Amino acid sequence: MNRLFGKLHISSLLQSNAILSRGFASTESPKRPPTAYNLFVKLKMQKGARAAEQFPVIAKEWKIYPDEEKMKFKYEAAKLKEDAIAFAKLSKEEQQAKFDEDAKNVMF
């Protein structure tokens, strides 16, 4: 009996945890800014080619990439991180206004 109760208790906790995590996932959390490596990968990825084939090649290329060249990506990643932090400090109304302003400036 105790054993069964333990299983039921654990399964009910897992279910309630799943419900909470679904609710948490649906909240709007900002995306993390890209790292220097993420920016490098985005630059090197080729359209149409399978990602599974490209990632090992890109990873090896990043490892042997000169530090001076990596600094360009690191600088850009740091700038994007600072921008994300500054944006997060804005009120929801200010964020929406900034988003609308940026959307107007995008040319298609």
Each residue's pLDDT tens digit, 23-33: 545 456 678 89
Which of the four pLDDT bands, split at 50, 70 and 90, describes residue 79? very high
Centroid of chain to Cα 57: 22
pTM of the model: 0.64
Rounded-to-integer distance, Cα 39 and Cα 106, Å:
21
The SS3 of residue 47 is: coil
Percent residues over pLDDT 90 in the chain: 43
Question: Residue 69 pLDDT > 90, yes or no?
Answer: yes
- Within 8 A by CB and 6+ apart from 65, the residues are 40
Each residue's pLDDT tens digit, 47-65: 888 989 999 999 999 999 9
